[in-house]
Amino acid sequence: MGDDAEQLKLALGYELARVGFKVVDFQQQAESTLSGIITTRVEGGRPVKRVTVFLTDRTGKKLWNQDIGSTSSSTRDDNEGIRQRAQDIAKVLKQDSSPPPKKTVKR
């Protein structure tokens, strides 16, 4: 696992727990698993992180996927881009997994 992947794994665990997901230590304990691909390129001297993530159930069935990113870090700190991607993933996954708001019916 590369440095970016390890940084993302740690940051994502924190961010997912922060928005209310249960994060476990071992894949065998999980109801579903996130995996993904990180790409980094340099634009204008700044690293640009893009992460594509996949959520699968225990049988391997894909439940969700999302392409997050291609926004350059606002700082020169390469790790900041990873933290931002982790926050983005947690936010989008939480939104996408939440039930739609109930519509009120006027009588």
Structure tokens at 90: 């947690």
Q: What's the confidence (pLDDT) of residue 56?
A: 96
Calculate the CA dihedral of residues 34, 97, 73, 83 and round it to 10 degrees. -50
Residue 104 inside a domain? The answer is no
Cβ-contact 63, 57 below 8 angstroms: yes
Residue 105 inside a domain? The answer is no
* pLDDT band, residue 61 (cuts 50/70/90): very high
Residue 60 inside a domain? The answer is yes
Residue type, 98: S
Residue 103 inside a domain? The answer is no
Q: What is the mean pLDDT of residues 26-55?
A: 90
Domain count, the chain: 1
Is residue 75 pLDDT above 60, yes or no? no
Residue 43 inside a domain? The answer is yes
What CATH number corresponds to the domain at position 80?
3.40.50.10610
